[in-house]
Amino acid sequence: MVTHFVLLGIPNTDGFQTILFVTFLAFYFCTLLGNLLIFSAILADDRLHTQMYFFLCNLSIIDLGFSSISTPKLLANLWAKSRTISLGGCMSQVFFWHFLVSTECLLYTVMAYDRYVAICHPLRYLLIMNWRVCALLAAGTWIASSFHATILTSLTFTLPYCGSNVVEYFFCDIFPVVKLLCADKYVIETVTFTNIGVVPMTCFFLILASYVRIIYSILKMNSAKGRRKAASTCASHLAVVMLFFGPCALIYTQPQLSKMLVTPVQLFSNVVTPMLNPAIYTLRNKEVKAALRKLRGGQTLAR
């Protein structure tokens, strides 16, 4: 019986390990610093204690966890060639990766609904998106995702592994790990593909429907200033949604390129995207920049 796995890491990187290590380490530190700053600024500034920033805090927590699933092990692989991962560690990577991906996907859908209510029903916004509703929506995304990840992880690791333990990937994901099964892979591959496909596609179409209605409402506005303000509140969310769904669409709509694209796309999603999310929300948001300046000023006074 298999008690550990060996992660082969990123293919065709011989001689570039040090450069990749320094690059990914810099990305990881920037991700941790950026998301912690966003989270701290929102907590510290009373003006940001609104529904939109409540969901943004959830996104920062997701990005902090998401970047820590595979990056530390990838860095250890590049620097010390530490490729072995225990069975429990592999199970943890599978669970938390699908847990946080599903949570982020559902959270983007909730945030799109929040923008839809704010722009299309501004007078009823506080009534519809009251704090109880926001708390229930946020909790629902985390709870539903935990069930989703538990089902997929249980299906993956209840079947026997008794042959090769070499995973041809840089972290434990379901499809590379399932290739090592001794049993029939049809059920787990079918269930996994269905779950991984249905959840993002449903979320994407719900987000698309929200933005069709939002764009229609913006075009109907008489004030140019109102149109600009409404479009500005949606721009950051649209950007992070494109970063999330774009790589997935690239892989699944180009089957002939999927084998070549899957590793760089996953690296981009796991390492780069969590770093870009806080930058996107900060660079286009005056309120967040003001809160960060206030936080910096408070730290300076404390010293």
Sign of CA dihedral 80, 97, 137, 109: positive
Q: What percent of the chain has pLDDT over 70?
A: 90
Element (H, E) at 86: strand 84-86
Mean pLDDT of the chain: 83
Which residues constitute the domain of residue 35? 4-302
Task: State phi, psi for 166 to the nearest 5 degrees.
Answer: -95, 115
What CATH number does residue 232 fall under? 1.20.1070.10
Higher pLDDT, 64 or 185: 64
pLDDT in tens, 211-250: 999 888 888 877 777 778 777 778 888 888 888 887 776 6
Instruction: Tell me how many domains the chain contains.
Output: 1
Residues 6+ apart with CB under 8 A from 240: 59, 108, 276, 277, 280, 281
Calculate the CA 222 to chain-centre distance.
Answer: 37
